[in-house]
Amino acid sequence: MQFSELALADPILKAVTEQGYTTPTPIQAQGIPAVLSGRDLLAAAQTGTGKTAGFTLPIIQHLITENRPVKANRCRVLVLTPTRELAAQVEDNVTAYAKYTDVRSEVVFGGVKINPQMQKLRRGVDILVATPGRLLDLHSQNAIDFRDLEVLVLDEADRMLDMGFIHDIRRIMRLLPTQRQNLMFSATFSDEIRALAKTIVENPVEVSVTPKNTTAERVRQQVIPVDKAKKTALLIDLLKKETWHQVLVFSRTKHGANRIAEKLNKAKIPAAAIHGNKSQGARTRALSEFKSNDIRVLVATDIAARGIDIDQLPHVINFDLPNVAEDYVHRIGRTGRAGSDGDAISFASRDEADLLAAVQNFIGQVIERVDYPGFKPQEALPELPLNVKPKKPKKPKKPKPAPAAGSEHRDGQKPPARRRRRRRSGGQGAAKS
Task: Give pLDDT tens digits for 30-51.
Answer: 999 999 999 999 998 766 678 8
Indicate if the alpha-carbon torsion angle 371, 377, 382, 384 is positive or negative. Answer: negative
Give the mean pLDDT of 207-230. 78
Strand partners, 154: 80, 184
**Per-residue pLDDT reduced to its tens digit, 101-116:** 999 999 999 989 999 9
Would 324 be classed as within a structural domain? yes
Within this chain, do residues 203 and 224 fall inside the same structural domain, yes or no?
Answer: no
Contact 151, 78 (CB under 8 A): yes
Residue 410 in this model has a pLDDT that exceeds 70: no
Query: Do residues 172 and 135 both lie within one domain?
Result: yes
198 and 58 assigned to the same domain:
yes
Q: How confident is the model at residue 411 (pLDDT cuts 50, 70, 90)?
A: very low
Same domain, 160 and 250: no
Q: Average pLDDT, stretch 225-229?
A: 95
- Let me know if residue 95 belongs to a domain: yes
Query: Are both 152 and 19 inside the same structural domain?
Result: yes
The Cα 363–Cα 215 span in angstroms is 7
Highest mean pLDDT among 14-28, 87-101, 204-218, 277-291: 87-101
The CATH number that applies at residue 309 is 3.40.50.300
Burial (Cβ within 10 Å: 0-12, 13-18, ≥19) of residue 129:
buried
What contacts 133, CB < 8 A, 6 or more positions away? 110, 165, 168
For residue 41, the SS3 value is: strand
Percent of the chain with pLDDT over 70: 83
Q: Are residues 327 and 252 in the same domain?
A: yes
Domain membership flag for residue 350: yes
Q: What is the mean pLDDT of residues 424-430?
A: 43
Task: For residues 163 and 238, state if they share a domain.
Answer: no
| Number of domains within the chain | 2
- For residue 81, is pLDDT > 60? yes
Whether residue 418 is predicted with pLDDT greater than 50 in this model: the reply is: no
CA–CA distance from 408 to each of 179, 422, 427, 428 (Å)?
84, 16, 18, 21
Among 208, 233, 257, give the residue marking a domain's end.
208
Least confident among 288-302, 366-380, 411-425 = 411-425
Nearest of 107, 156, 158, 109 to residue 132 by alpha carbon: 109
Task: Mark whether 121 and 17 lie in a shared domain.
Answer: yes
Task: Using the 3D structure, point to which of 161, 176, 208 is the last residue of a domain.
Answer: 208
Residues 336 and 284 in one domain: yes
Residue 193 has pLDDT above 60, yes or no: yes
Residues 276 and 296 in one domain: yes
Q: Quick one: which of 103, 139, 95, 133 has its CA closest to 121? A: 139
The confidence band for 371, taking pLDDT boundaries of 50, 70 and 90, is: very high
Asked whether residue 174 falls in the same domain as residue 227, the answer is no
Hey, is 417 helix, strand or coil?
A: helix
Task: Categorize the per-residue pLDDT at 281 as very low, low, confident or very high, splitting at 50, 70 and 90.
Answer: confident
Partnered with residue 223 across adjacent β-strands are: 346, 369
User: Where does a domain end: 176, 208, 240?
Assistant: 208
Task: Give the number of other CB atoms < 10 A from CB of residue 24.
Answer: 22
3-class state of residue 290 by DSSP: helix
Domain presence at residue 431:
no
Half-sphere exposure of 26 (CA within 13 A, CB side): 12
DSSP state of 277: T
pTM over 0.95: no
HSE (side-chain half, CA atoms, 13 Å) at 376: 2
> Can you give the residue range of the structural domain that contains 252?
219-369
CA triplet 102, 104, 110: central angle to 5 degrees? 170
